[in-house]
Chains A and B, each alone.
Chain A
Amino acid sequence: MSAAHGEPLTATSYIHHHLTNLAVGSGFWTFHLDTLIVSGAVGLLVFGSLAVIAGRATSGVPKGWQNFFEMVLGFVNQQVKDTYHGNNPLIAPLAITIFVWVFSMNAMDLIPVDFLPWATQQATGNEHLPFKFVPTTDPNLTFAMSITVFLIMMFLNFKVKGFGAFMHEVFAVPFGLKLAPINFLFRVIEDIAKPISLSLRLFGNMYAGEMVFILIGLLGIWQLPLALPWELFHILIITLQAFVFMMLTIVYMSMASESH
């Protein structure tokens, strides 16, 4: 717990402080600087290193990081191959980006919940500076990803199936052309549900996990035996959520590329 000067620190203010984004601007044009900076920094670090490793990749015996990332990316690619039966050069990189990025951002949750905010406050000299260090607990990020996935999905619907076939699918499936409005309604609900469930699942899981860390942080000395099990359990959750987001994206892309 970081003690704030002047006012007594209550559980409410502690939680509130931890759940507040560092924001600039007003109304819709508000930017959550912490989300933008952390997600961008994490992404640049991970994808920058990956680009360097991939640039140096040899076809000989893979060593160290190349070996590790070949394993991870090979795993993702295997999922893509198993699920997506088209031959689209976008799908594998998309799935890799989602898995690696979401995992890295989720992994910020494993850093002790008070450490990075405290460090930022020390660095900036502002004791009240809010700074959320897990970008995936910001629905803006999860919605940004799921909406991008949705846009790519729509693009594939039009590109792979063609406008006519896609329209036929929207209005004639599953009940036939006579019930076109109902079919259309079903389709709209189905397609809208995809990005919403995708983003809210990730956001909900990470937000809840973060919340549990904060609550454990409130327990004083008792947080010591509790933080570790939750941390270990959380390793499973962050990997699982990254995997689920990636997997569902592949499935949606596959559905967008195959006619019923």
Chain B
Amino acid sequence: MSINATLIGQMIWFAIFIWITMKFIWPPLQKAMADRQQQIADGLAAAERGKHDLELAAKRSAEALREAKDRANVIAAEADKQARRTIEEAKEAAKLEAEKVYNAKLAELEQEAERARSALRERVAELAVAGAEKILRREVNASAHADMLAALKQEL
């Protein structure tokens, strides 16, 4: 147990092992660890970004949904109004039409009635004339009293 040249040999061994560690062990291992750290950091960042994107998309979809609902409501209201207006218009038109038809029918009926009345009047006149003729046949010359007959007919 004494200090001797073994010391020098051991220093050489030590230097060799430091050199091996410095050259072949620590740099590649450190690089692998640093790379992994980078990969994990990237992965976490990507996950964070994905989550953020998802949130954004959810928000956007909710907004779109709300907008669509709003628009649908507006459209529905408008359609309602339109329908009401259309019905109103239709009603109005129908009323007018009905009135028109009624008036036309009324006029027609009146005309008909008038025609019937005039026909009736003619018929009565004819009957009266015929009756008068029968009465007067014997004493009245038809041709001589035609004027009078026509005036009578007119009067009836």
Measured CB to CB, the residues of A under 8 A from B are: 19, 21, 25, 27-32, 35-36, 39-40, 43, 47-48, 50-51, 53-55, 57-60, 62, 66, 69-70, 73-74, 77, 89-90, 92-94, 96-97, 100-101, 138-141, 143-145, 147-148
Partner of B21, one of A57, A58, A96, A139: A96
* Minimal Cβ-Cβ distance residue in B for A69: B29
- A60/B14 in contact, CB under 8 A: no
- A70/B33 in contact, CB under 8 A: yes
B136 interfacial by beta-carbon distance below 8 Å: no
Q: Kindly state the separation between the CA atoms of A125 and B148 in the bound complex, as whole angstroms.
A: 185
Among B67-119, those with CB < 8 Å from A are none
B28 interfacial by beta-carbon distance below 8 Å: yes
The segment from B5-13, B48-56, B137-145 that touches chain A is B5-13
B151 interfacial by beta-carbon distance below 8 Å: no
* Minimal Cβ-Cβ distance residue in A for B13: A40
- B29/A39 in contact, CB under 8 A: no
B39 interfacial by beta-carbon distance below 8 Å: yes
- A47/B14 in contact, CB under 8 A: no
Given contacts A28-B4, A138-B6, are A96 and B36 in contact (CB under 8 A)? no
Given contacts A59-B36, A97-B17, are A54 and B28 in contact (CB under 8 A)? yes
Nearest 9 interchain pairs by C-beta: A144-B10, A59-B35, A140-B6, A93-B22, A57-B32, A51-B24, A93-B21, A30-B4, A32-B6
* Minimal Cβ-Cβ distance residue in A for B5: A29
**Min CB distance, A253 to chain B, in Å?**
13
- B5/A74 in contact, CB under 8 A: no
Q: Kindly state the separation between the CA atoms of A66 and B30 in the bound complex, as whole angstroms.
A: 12
- B1/A139 in contact, CB under 8 A: yes
Give the most central of B16, B17, B39: most A CB within 10 Å.
B17
**Min CB distance, A242 to chain B, in Å?**
14
Decide if the interface of chain A is mainly helix, strand, loop or mixed.
helix
B15 interfacial by beta-carbon distance below 8 Å: yes
**Min CB distance, B42 to chain A, in Å?**
11
- B25/A148 in contact, CB under 8 A: no
B7 contacts which chain A residues (CB < 8 A)? Answer: 140, 143-144, 147
Q: Kindly state the separation between the CA atoms of A29 and B7 in the bound complex, as whole angstroms.
A: 10
- B21/A141 in contact, CB under 8 A: no
Selected A-B contacts with CB under 8 Å, 7 pairs: A43-B17, A69-B29, A89-B22, A93-B25, A93-B26, A101-B14, A139-B1
B15 contacts which chain A residues (CB < 8 A)? Answer: 148
- A47/B20 in contact, CB under 8 A: yes
- A74/B33 in contact, CB under 8 A: yes
Q: Kindly state the separation between the CA atoms of A54 and B22 in the bound complex, as whole angstroms.
A: 12
- A59/B10 in contact, CB under 8 A: no
B3 interfacial by beta-carbon distance below 8 Å: yes
A138 contacts which chain B residues (CB < 8 A)? Answer: 1, 6
B154 interfacial by beta-carbon distance below 8 Å: no
* Minimal Cβ-Cβ distance residue in B for A76: B26
A94 contacts which chain B residues (CB < 8 A)? Answer: 18, 21-22
Given contacts A54-B25, A69-B29, are A139 and B3 in contact (CB under 8 A)? yes
Q: Kindly state the separation between the CA atoms of A58 and B15 in the bound complex, as whole angstroms.
A: 28
A145 contacts which chain B residues (CB < 8 A)? Answer: 10-11, 14
Q: Kindly state the separation between the CA atoms of A100 and B10 in the bound complex, as whole angstroms.
A: 16
Q: Kindly state the separation between the CA atoms of A73 and B13 in the bound complex, as whole angstroms.
A: 20
B22 contacts which chain A residues (CB < 8 A)? Answer: 89-90, 93-94
* Minimal Cβ-Cβ distance residue in A for B22: A93
B13 contacts which chain A residues (CB < 8 A)? Answer: 36, 39-40, 43, 144
Given contact pairs A51-B20, A54-B24, A90-B18, a sample of 9 additional A-B residue pairs in the complex whose CB atoms are under 8 Å apart: A30-B5, A39-B10, A47-B20, A54-B25, A59-B39, A66-B29, A77-B30, A144-B7, A147-B11
Given contacts A29-B5, A51-B25, are A35 and B33 in contact (CB under 8 A)? no
